[in-house]
Amino acid sequence: MHDDSAAWYLPEHLTHLYYSPVYATLTPVQRRVYNRLHACYLCEMCAFLEGELPRYYLQAASAPNIPKHLLAQAQALSDSEKRHASMFRALARRLSPGLYCEDEYILVRPPSLPALMVRTLFNLPALRPMLLWIALIQEERGVYYGEEILRQAEHLDPAMVEVQRKHLADEEEHLGFGEALLPSYWDACRPWVRRLNARLFRYVLREYLGAPKRAGVRLIHIWVKECPDLETRKSELVDAMRALDRNPGFHRSLYSRKIVPKTFDLFDRYSEFCDLGKSVWGYSPEVNG
């Protein structure tokens, strides 16, 4: 018995392995431990994105063609995102204090050299639109997650529910800001910049914000340490996690018209995203069914 609390932290359908056949073979305790670790992953991801992305909003809102009132909004958004990042880090520590004694990012760990290169590249104004798209789609997805968590609040850990409630209170406004900023910014970009950014967006979403790869495997390693009875099934679990990349149901659970309708509506307006469905399956009409 490694987690004797009866708490659930996320609705099961918001966790990755829920979409794998292997999930049905897990015991209730194993599922609960996985659920908590996945919640930690979600917290890390939110803390990372909310900590990193607002600076690009600020840079973008300072551009000459952007209405001045958006700059003030971007500043307010940046401040509140910093609070959110800190809130999510604190929540992760509360869910697994032992996990975060030596680092604040255990599951979401971009390798240091590529991360430095990416950060340098992202300071190029030409790549800023892609970051704004990332920010928008993640904000909207965050709202969906928050709403789902609040919908099942009575079955979930109160600390998680409280953080999501606070997050949601600001997030609707942030989403509106992103929706207002992006079209003006995107429309002012040259065609080649738009094409480049659309391609990069597809790549980043697929590689880092789609089916679990590195973080998913790290999560399994930690999970197995907490549930040693899973040791013999470790490679099976890793394979199951990796197989999600080929699972339409799983892809639909990440991005779909139900989860990110506003962002998808914006994609529909721009030809650069016409083939987005090849890598973001939830965008393709077939997967949306």
| Residues contributing to the site for another protein (CB under 8 A) | 1-5, 7, 48, 51, 89-90, 93-94, 96-98, 100-105, 222, 225-226
Residue 130 has a CB neighbour count (10 Å cut-off) of 23
Q: Which residue lies nearer to another protein by CB, 9 or 201?
A: 9
Residue 135, CA distances (Å) to 131, 200, 244, 277 in order: 6, 14, 24, 19
Q: Which residue lies nearer to another protein by CB, 101 or 124?
A: 101
Looking only at Cα atoms, what is the longest distance across the chain? 59
> Least Å distance between CB 82 and another protein?
10
Structure-token match 């992103």, residue found:
178
> Least Å distance between CB 56 and another protein?
16
Report residue 70: phi and psi, to 5°. -70, -25
> Least Å distance between CB 18 and another protein?
23
> Least Å distance between CB 116 and another protein?
11
Q: Which residue lies nearer to another protein by CB, 105 or 144?
A: 105
227: Cβ contacts below 8 Å, ≥ 6 apart:
2, 29, 30, 33
Q: Which residue lies nearer to another protein by CB, 48 or 273?
A: 48
**Token pair of 243 as six digits:** 């197989």
Q: Which residue lies nearer to another protein by CB, 1 or 124?
A: 1
Report residue 219: phi and psi, to 5°. -60, -40
> Least Å distance between CB 192 and another protein?
32
Question: What gap in Å lies between CA 182 and CA 109, rounded to an integer?
Answer: 28
